[in-house]
Amino acid sequence: DSGVTQTPKHLITATGQRVTLRCSPRSGDLSVYWYQQSLDQGLQFLIQYYNGEERAKGNILERFSAQQFPDLHSELNLSSLELGDSALYFCASSVDGGSNEKLFFGSGTQLSVL
Amino acid sequence: GQNIDQPTEMTATEGAIVQINCTYQTSGFNGLFWYQQHAGEAPTFLSYNVLDGLEEKGRFSSFLSRSKGYSYLLLKELQMKDSASYLCAVRPRGDKIIFGKGTRLHILP
């Protein structure tokens, strides 16, 4: 158990809908990362937050948004869902995002868009 | 841009040694990571290299050459439970970590 909690584990929804994925980092970790993993693309970096502020952005679509709250949990919002958004979404955390820090991953949310 | 390359799949025999290579081209370098990921599960940390050379940790070792943009993960005394994907990842600067697509390793009895 990495100590990172993601909910829900599975989500099935329809095209055009909006969903929210939730992540609680390990106790004491200030930095949260979101990744999308599909079969052919591997782990794609979406966005990173540090202590409530956005620190780095990857290839995150405009339909997607995220935030980190004062209690350090984070939410990833996906809207106007398309079939291609079906993927495994991982959240990871680290203490402060320093260079040598490893990431601890949650067990992921499997999103299926039908 | 950022690019990390590693073989898509490899096969090895139980008890043998396997080397998984990774080459990278990134704007900046602040360390290279290897992660193991079993199917449908979360990636778990294996090793970290920031200086050139070999880091050994039990049956697993990782090597880095910054001048060549090259790393490898060496797995010794392979066990069936080592069947998994191995992800090479680079932190270009002090923030995000970029992952390669991973190498699926199949272990044959």
**Which candidate from A42, A105, A106 shows the least CB-CB separation from B101?**
A42
Asked if B3 is an interface residue toward chain A (Cβ–Cβ < 8 A), one would say: no
Q: Is pLDDT of B95 > 80?
A: no
Q: Number of residue pairs across A and B with CB atoms under 8 Å?
A: 56
Q: Which pLDDT score, from 0 to 100, does residue B38 have?
A: 95
Q: Is pLDDT of A35 > 80?
A: yes
CB contact under 8 A, A42 and B45: no
Q: Is pLDDT of A2 > 90?
A: no
Residues of chain A in contact with residue B36, where contact means CB-CB under 8 angstroms, are none
| Average pLDDT score over residue span B11-39 | 95
Interface of B with A in 39-68 (CB under 8 A): 40-45, 48, 50
pLDDT category of residue B94 using cuts at 50, 70 and 90: low
pLDDT category of residue A101 using cuts at 50, 70 and 90: confident
Instruction: Name the percent of chain A lying above pLDDT 90.
Output: 85
State the DSSP H helix or E strand holding residue B44, giving kind and residue range, or none if neither.
strand B44-49
Q: What HEC string does A11-64 produce?
A: EEECCCCCEEEEEECCCCCCEEEEEEEECCCEEEEEEEEECCEEEEECCCCCCE
Residue of A nearest to B48 (CA): A100
Q: Which pLDDT score, from 0 to 100, does residue A1 have?
A: 83
- What would the two tokens of residue B8 be? 């898509």
- From B14, B32, B15, select the one nearest B23 (Cα to Cα): B32
Q: Which pLDDT score, from 0 to 100, does residue B93 have?
A: 80
Q: Which pLDDT score, from 0 to 100, does residue B2 have?
A: 82
More confident of the two residues A58 and B64: B64
To the nearest whole Å, the CA of A42 is away from the closest chain B CA by 4
Q: Is pLDDT of A14 > 70?
A: yes
More confident of the two residues A70 and A96: A70
More confident of the two residues B39 and B74: B74
